[in-house]
Amino acid sequence: MSDIITLAQSIAEELVDHNAEMLIAPEFDLPSLATQRVVVAPIAQEVKILSRASREIIFRIDIAVLYRAKNIDIDAMLELVQSIGESFLGKKISGATCYSIEYNPIYDAEILRTKNQFCGVVNLAFKAVK
């Protein structure tokens, strides 16, 4: 199994309290989002040479928090997205350390307004040296 897939699966396992699942190519049917979903997806990998004997690998992983309801508590959902992101900062998983988190988007206002669906994304960047 590739390193980025292993890392994404390990991140999903860290989020077991949120019933997270790792998906390679996530697609969602809006009517089926009657309950909260947390999805982990591997996004990108970058490799840089540090020396003849070592290289730096940057892994980018996204975590999406999705929920559809008529009355969504935005504050609670934003707190959830932020707490998930901050729980990984500085954490070492599968030999890589999370050095950066970004919320992009922290929530999508258009989807919220038109479809009553909350969609917040945490972008994680992990670094490993091999």
Instruction: Tell me the per-residue pLDDT of 92-127, one tens digit each, with 9 for 90 and over.
Output: 999 999 999 999 889 888 888 888 888 899 999 999
The token pair at 1 is 């199994």
Q: Which of 20-24, 60-64, 111-115 has the highest mean pLDDT?
A: 60-64
CATH code assigned to 3-24+35-129: 3.30.2000.10
Report the pLDDT value the prediction gives residue 125, as an integer from 0 to 100. Answer: 98
Rounded to whole angstroms, the Cα distance separating 79 from 84 reads 8
Q: In what order do the strands lie in the sheet with 117-129?
A: 21-22, 37-49, 55-68, 117-129, 96-103, 92-93
Are 105 and 53 contacting, i.e. CB atoms less than 8 angstroms apart? no
Beta-strand ranges (E) seen in the chain are: 21-22, 37-49, 55-68, 92-93, 96-103, 117-129
